[in-house]
């Protein structure tokens, strides 16, 4: 019965997509293997659409012609294996480069598409700077997009002696196991109606941050210390921890020396560093335990032990005091109702990605706002129109009335991209920039490295939030219109795209919106020092200058 239903659905899709079937009966559908494969490709394309994106017809004949006319994969511009290996050794030309600088250096030498050869057991990757190639990869990634680069996390979890991750390796897995895990956590973390689960806890943490600024700023200059990034990190940590672990660590003000919290906070970046150090750079860690892998595994062990402890503590607390009928459960409680292991793995994955990225994003937003006082004042006026009193609290409803707030954040993340882009494996054979690229090839999609180019955004080195507003609101004082809605949607994707987009996007969105809104409501923000190359990049950008912002109380 299921086979018949499947065949009927596939046949319907084939008519929608303009693909001829081998016949109109179930038996003929399954006899002709070539046609069956063709229909399966239709199903993948049909199921992998996102939002209102139209599914393009699959014209195999046109693709065959394109494939035959394309240059072979082996002719792609590339680094040799020797250049790749020697370049990353001590003293090599790539040894001290960040991922962004490495990719740009190769782009200058090789062009907008090139191949990085796999060394020491790693597979090949292609690096893409052509926006048309981005779209092709995303449109054909299928219902289970595969993301390269996190092999070190999977390797660690596969080789834990206690076998804890045998059932699931969480969001860093690939294939069907990833899909099953994502399917059960999506309703908790991504549905808009659940945003209220984290709005109040995040707001409480955020107001603690406002008071922290008043405590640490110089009473004369009103500037915060050079190491203000530590406080931003604590804000990001407390924010993700109160959601992931349902626990108020109070690292911002109450418990700044709490050992568990500091250990977690200090080891968060190990995951992000591993993607570059163990996923792209040549590494022998699968053959011998390298010092880099030992440091990474130690960080993972510490994070596992502490996360496991606090999830178990929360489980005991919730069992003793379960939510009453009608009460809204926390994110952790909802995950625990799925099962304990899902809750622990999801908490770990949220913690690994929830500090460095949001900290850098908040730093970028504050630098942009401080450097553009007119934009800051315009934002303040919007906030005061919606919430005229500082004692007013944010709600899901009134946050919807703040388009300029969201535009300022989007423009800051365009102005200072946090990472190079996204990574995928090609879901089918593709022709990219005129070259044959086989299915399963790693693709580094440099979508976030293009928004600062004039080709894609007019006046790219100006901070212009208005470009993200709707047509009726997006005219500048000089009459110029810089609408971003006509920009290719595959450029500037800080949270990724499609089924594999960031599962914590809504949490981070609210965290950034609350932080910027509360600071602008309470302070006039200034930065009175040179802003040149303010970020250094490993995998993501981290501030490279002292963040000595001046926070002046508003009357």
What is the per-residue pLDDT for 482? 66
What is the per-residue pLDDT for 193? 76
* Closest among 169, 147, 151 to 160, alpha carbons compared: 169
Backbone Cα Rg of the chain = 25
Mean pLDDT of 420-439: 94
In the three-class reduction of DSSP (H, G, I as helix; E, B as strand; rest coil), residue 346 is classed as: helix
Q: How far apart are the first and last CA of the chain?
A: 71
What is the per-residue pLDDT for 485? 61
Per-residue pLDDT tens over the stretch 153-179 = 999 999 999 999 998 899 989 889 999
Mean pLDDT of 204-217: 95
Is the pLDDT at 244 greater than 60, yes or no?
Answer: yes
Torsion angles phi and psi, residue 74, rounded to 5: -65, -20
Angle at 288 between CA 155 and CA 303, to 5 degrees: 40
Is the pLDDT at 2 greater than 60, yes or no?
Answer: no
Q: How confident is the model at residue 419 (pLDDT cuts 50, 70, 90)?
A: confident
* Closest among 375, 406, 389, 369 to 521, alpha carbons compared: 389
* Closest among 356, 352, 321, 349 to 335, alpha carbons compared: 349
Q: What percent of the chain has pLDDT over 70?
A: 86
Is the pLDDT at 479 greater than 70, yes or no?
Answer: no
Sign, Cα dihedral of 352, 355, 357, 358: positive
Mean pLDDT of 11-36: 36
What is the per-residue pLDDT for 452? 87
384/209 Cα distance (integer angstroms) = 20
Residues 384 and 521: beta-carbon distance below 8 Å:
yes
Domains and CATH numbers, the chain: 2-58 (no CATH), 78-87+97-150+420-448 (3.30.43.20), 182-419+494-553 (1.10.630.10)
Q: What is the dihedral of CA 326, 331, 334, 335, to 10 degrees?
A: 180
Tell me the β-bridge partners of 481.
475
Q: How confident is the model at residue 63 (pLDDT cuts 50, 70, 90)?
A: confident
What is the per-residue pLDDT for 321? 77
Is the pLDDT at 437 greater than 60, yes or no?
Answer: yes
Q: How confident is the model at residue 40 (pLDDT cuts 50, 70, 90)?
A: very low
Q: How confident is the model at residue 481 (pLDDT cuts 50, 70, 90)?
A: low
Regarding predicted confidence, which is higher, 379 or 35? 379
Q: How confident is the model at residue 477 (pLDDT cuts 50, 70, 90)?
A: low
| Averaged confidence pLDDT in the chain | 84
Is the pLDDT at 472 greater than 60, yes or no?
Answer: no
What is the per-residue pLDDT for 28? 33
pTM of the shown model: 0.84
Tell me the β-bridge partners of 437.
430
Range of 118-132, 142-156, 356-370, 527-541 with top mean pLDDT: 356-370
Lowest pLDDT segment from 243-257, 337-351, 463-477: 463-477
Residue burial 191-225, b: 16+ Cβ < 10 Å; e: rest? eeebbebbbebbbebbbbbbebbeebbeeeebbbe
388/375 Cα distance (integer angstroms) = 19
Per-residue pLDDT tens over the stretch 79-90 = 999 999 999 988
Is the pLDDT at 32 greater than 50, yes or no?
Answer: no
Burial bucket for residue 236 (CB in 10 Å: 0-12, 13-18, 19+)? buried
Torsion angles phi and psi, residue 530, rounded to 5: -60, 140
What is the per-residue pLDDT for 339? 87
Is the pLDDT at 302 greater than 80, yes or no?
Answer: yes
Per-residue pLDDT tens over the stretch 508-555 = 999 999 999 999 999 999 999 999 889 988 778 899 999 999 999 998
Mean pLDDT of 254-283: 80
The helix (run of H) or strand (run of E) holding residue 413 is helix 403-415
What is the per-residue pLDDT for 112? 96
Q: How confident is the model at residue 352 (pLDDT cuts 50, 70, 90)?
A: confident
Pairing, β 430-432 against β 422-425:
unpaired
What is the per-residue pLDDT for 100? 87
Mean pLDDT of 35-48: 38
Pairing, β 125-128 against β 113-116:
antiparallel
Q: Which two tokens stand for residue 311?
A: 């999830």
Q: Which two tokens stand for residue 234?
A: 């604590």
DSSP character at residue 543:
E
184/187 Cα distance (integer angstroms) = 7
Q: What percent of the chain has pLDDT over 90?
A: 47
């Amino acid at each position: 019965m299921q086979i018949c239903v499947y065949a009927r659905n596939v046949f319907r899709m084939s008519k929608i997509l303009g693909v001829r079937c081998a016949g109109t009966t179930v038996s003929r559908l399954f006899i002709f293997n070539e046609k069956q494969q063709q229909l399966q490709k239709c199903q993948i394309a049909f199921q992998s659409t996102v939002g209102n994106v139209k599914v393009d017809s699959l014209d195999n004949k046109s693709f065959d012609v394109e494939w035959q006319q394309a240059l072979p994969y082996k002719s792609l511009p590339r680094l040799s294996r020797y250049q790749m290996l020697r370049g990353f050794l001590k003293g090599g030309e790539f040894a001290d480069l960040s991922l962004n600088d490495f990719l740009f250096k190769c782009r200058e030498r090789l062009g907008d598409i090139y191949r990085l050869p796999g060394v020491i057991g790693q597979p090949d990757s292609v690096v893409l700077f052509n926006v048309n190639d981005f779209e092709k990869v995303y449109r054909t990634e299928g219902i289970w997009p595969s993301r390269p680069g996190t092999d070190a996390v999977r390797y660690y979890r596969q080789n834990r002696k206690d076998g804890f991750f045998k059932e699931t390796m969480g969001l860093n897995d690939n294939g069907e196991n990833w899909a099953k895990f994502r399917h059960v956590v999506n309703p908790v973390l991504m549905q808009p109606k659940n945003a209220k689960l984290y709005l109040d806890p995040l707001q409480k943490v955020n107001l603690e941050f406002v008071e922290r600024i008043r405590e640490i700023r110089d009473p004369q200059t009103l500037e915060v210390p050079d190491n203000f990034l530590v406080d931003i990190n604590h804000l990001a940590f407390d924010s993700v921890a109160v959601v992931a672990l349902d626990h108020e660590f109070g690292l911002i003000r109450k418990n700044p020396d709490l050992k568990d919290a500091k250990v977690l906070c200090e080891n968060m970046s190990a995951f992000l560093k591993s993607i570059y150090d163990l996923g792209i750079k040549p590494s022998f860690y699968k053959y011998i335990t390298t010092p880099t892998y030992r440091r990474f595994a130690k960080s993972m062990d510490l994070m596992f032990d502490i996360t496991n402890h606090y999830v178990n503590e929360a489980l005991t607390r919730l069992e003793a005091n379960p939510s009453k009928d009608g009460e809204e459960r926390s994110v952790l409680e909802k995950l625990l109702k799925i099962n304990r292991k899902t809750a622990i793995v999801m908490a770990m994955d949220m913690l690994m990605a929830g500090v460095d990225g949001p900290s850098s994003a908040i730093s970028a937003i504050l630098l942009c706002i401080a450097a553009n006082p007119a934009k800051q004042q315009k934002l303040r006026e919007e906030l005061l129109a919606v919430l005229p009193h500082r004692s007013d609290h944010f709600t899901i409803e009134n946050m919807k009335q703040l388009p300029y707030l969201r535009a300022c954040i989007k423009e800051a993340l365009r102005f200072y991209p946090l990472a190079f882009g996204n990574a995928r494996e090609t879901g089918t054979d593709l022709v990219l920039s005129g070259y044959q690229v086989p299915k399963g090839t790693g693709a580094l999609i440099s979508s976030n490295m293009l928004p600062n180019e004039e080709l894609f955004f007019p006046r790219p080195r100006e901070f212009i939030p208005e470009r993200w507003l709707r047509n009726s609101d997006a005219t500048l004082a000089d009459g110029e219109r810089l609408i971003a809605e006509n920009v290719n949607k595959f450029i500037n994707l800080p949270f990724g795209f499609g089924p594999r987009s960031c599962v914590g996007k809504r949490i981070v969105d609210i965290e950034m919106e609350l932080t910027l809104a509360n600071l602008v409501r309470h302070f006039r923000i200034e930065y009175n020092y040179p802003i040149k190359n303010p970020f250094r990049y490993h995998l993501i950008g981290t501030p490279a200058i002292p963040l000595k912002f001046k926070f002046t109380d508003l009357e």
